[in-house]
Structure 1
Amino acid sequence: MKKLFTILTVVILTTTVSFAQFSAKAGLNMANVASNNDDADMSMKLGLIIGGNYAVEISDEMSLDLSLTFKQSGAKETSEFQGGSSEIKWSLNYLDVSPNLAYKVSDMLAFSVGPYLAYAISGNVKSETKITNGPTTETSESIKFGDGDDDDGIKALDFGINIGATYFINDMMNVSAGYALGLTNLIYVDDDMKDAYDAMNEDVPSLKNNGIYISFGYSFGG
């Protein structure tokens, strides 16, 4: 899968350079993580998105949008206990490759859909525990991505679907918004773990990325 990610990245970069046309984009990702743990109170965490996009025109209305993006995902979990409260923030930094099919319904508006493949380049977990009328304890730890052997058992590779819309302010500027639905369980589950949960008649733990994003784009040439 890492080789596939590298190949897709090279194809996008090569295509962009070959046609010497691209647009830059920057914005916010209102990220969250879906969990099958009913006791987990997950909430949105803001992150940045910065990247480039190249649109290959298929017809007057349709294009293939190839993008390479740095995307900050993650989530925030808050909980209260007798005598205090705690907050945990997961930050996951991805390099995201997305080939999306866009359809223009007018000169000013287009809708898009397509898959994304993202690879985590870094991540960390920050926690803050507050004791009522007492001290506040803070910790921060980097996430070690892998299969659970000498790491944190969090997968580096994520796959999902993008659905979005773009409003063209003029020939050079646009605003995009959309939703990214992660389909990959970020928790690495081996056969032994699956058998253990099956024996307890419980579902294996699951964490999946999702997020609402909005970005401003500027086109260079075309």
Structure 2
Amino acid sequence: MKNYIFTVLISVIIFPAVFAQKQPEIKTDTCENFREQLFKNGKVNFGLKAGFNYSDLYGGEIGYIFAEKHTSWLPSFHIGVTVNSKIGKYFWLKHELLLIQKGAGVTLSDSINGNYASQLKMLSLDLFPLSPVFHYKALQLYAGPYISALVDAQIKRKDINGKEFNDHSVFGDGMQFENKTKYLQKFDFGINVGIEYEFTSGLSIGAKYTQGFTDLFQYANSHTFNDPLKEISIYNRSLLFSVGYSFHKK
């Protein structure tokens, strides 16, 4: 296996060099024409996007983690960069990288404060690698997968005096015991479906729905505690409203 990997690496390094030696020299004006075709003619559009979103949780085990089985939508924000690749007249590809705050309004309970309203907030970096787009005039309809990496998380709790504080232990680490504190998975994946309208000025408005398919709460050691519940079915979902700007517009 090691020899195979070494051979592949050598091939990747040597082949481009040999190939480059056999090719005629590319003129500078040819490169400039390529850049003009690619960017100035709208083949690839780079942009920025920001806005607000409403996020929530869904799943059968919400009552297992929290004091009640229902949650509420939590207003939050997102910001990031976008790239649109024009493949054909009506077919584009959309790529996005967004920093998003997700979460939900939840209910917690303890022996001192009883049941009380709380908020679970999760900050994640979401990559939307490849969303096929149907593009007609200024309107875009798209759908595709996403991959999410958890950056930070906190849940609002009350101390023995009833004072609220942000508890970051829900973010979790490998040293925590899951039978005492349930903590969050570090990665998520799901789908996104959206619509976007771009004005001739380069400004755009859009809306997007995302839904996760990964169990949010870590439960790898459930077999150790003889717990019949082998997974915690709680998932992300969000509705995003965005304003964007495209730097390379047609």
User: What range describes the TM-score normalised by the shorter chain of this pair?
Assistant: 0.7 to 0.9
Residue number among 99, 102, 117 corresponding to 1:70 in the alignment: 99
1:137 to 152, 160, 163: 163
Residue 165 of structure 1 corresponds to: 195
- The alpha-carbon distance between structure 1 residues 57 and 195, as it changes in their structure 2 partners (threshold 3 A), is farther
Contact 1:122 1:143 in 2 (8 A): no
Query: Counterpart of 1:103?
Result: 134
Q: 1:128 to 1:103 in 2, by over 3 A?
A: farther
Which secondary structure does the structure 1 equivalent of 2:226 belong to?
helix
Contact 2:216 2:232 in 1 (8 A): no
Aligned residues: 197
Residue matched to 1:220: 247
Unaligned runs of 5+ in 2: 1-37
1:27 is the counterpart of 2:51 = yes
Amino acid aligned to 2:151: I
Which segments of 5 or more consecutive residues in structure 1 lack a partner in the other structure?
1-17, 130-134
**Distance change in 2, residues 1:153/1:77 (3 Å):** closer
Alignment match, 1:45: 74
Asked which structure has the greater CA Rg, the reply is 2
Taking the aligned partners of 2:195 and 2:169, their CA distance within structure 1 comes to: 33
1:76 counterpart letter in structure 2: G
| 1:47 CA drift (Å) | 1.2
Structure 1 residue 128: Cα displacement: 5.1
Is the deviation greater in 145-154 or in 30-39?
Answer: 145-154
Instruction: Verify the 8 A CA contact 1:88 1:128 in the aligned structure 2.
Output: no
The secondary structure found in structure 1 opposite 2:237 is: strand
Q: Aligned residue for 2:236?
A: 209
User: CA 1:206–1:167 in 2, change beyond 3 Å: closer, same or farther?
Assistant: same
CA distance in 1, matches of 2:56, 2:144: 20
8 Å CA contact retained: 2:45, 2:85: no
More strand by percentage: 1
Q: Match of 1:36, as an amino acid?
A: G
Deviation at 1:140, TM superposition (A): 1.4
Root-mean-square deviation (CA, aligned residues, Å) is 2.9
Name the structure with the higher helix share: 2
Residues 1:192 and 1:159: Cα distance change in structure 2 (over 3 Å):
same
Identity in percent: 25
Q: Which residue of 1 aligns with 2:217?
A: 187
Contact preservation (8 Å) 1:62, 1:101: yes
String of CA shifts for 1:94-142, please: whole Å, max 9, x gaps.
11110211111x313211100000101111111359xxxxx74312111
Inter-partner Cα distance in structure 1 for 2:172 and 2:153: 12
